[in-house]
Amino acid sequence: MEIGIDSFAATIPDPATGLMVSATDRMDALLAEVETADRVGLDVFGIGEHHRKEFLDSAPVVILAAAAARTQRIRRAPSRY
């Protein structure tokens, strides 16, 4: 059995201010999430694919490549859901 996380890289409001987080800040946070998942020993991190303005994952393999440069052992995969 594998344990992991799946993300759709949605742009979200800042919980403290209610203002939308910039795409750059959201992508930084997403890559930090992958790093944390790797550090704590999760098996896999998946990224979905969407082509709508509120999602940043129209090219998940590019995000996964950036994640690969920052992680050691976690398996990175495009989501199939």
Distance CA 47, CA 4 (A): 11
Computed from CA positions of residues 38, 11, 54, 10, in that sequence, does the dihedral angle turn out positive or negative? Answer: positive
**Residue in the block written with tokens 């890559």:** 31
Mean per-residue pLDDT for 3-27?
A: 92
Q: What is the pLDDT of residues 24-73, one digit of tens each?
A: 999 999 999 999 999 999 999 999 999 999 999 999 999 999 999 999 99
Distance CA 9, CA 51 (A): 11
Confidence (pLDDT) at 81: 55
pTM over 0.75: yes
Distance CA 55, CA 34 (A): 17
**Residue in the block written with tokens 């790797």:** 38
Distance CA 60, CA 77 (A): 9
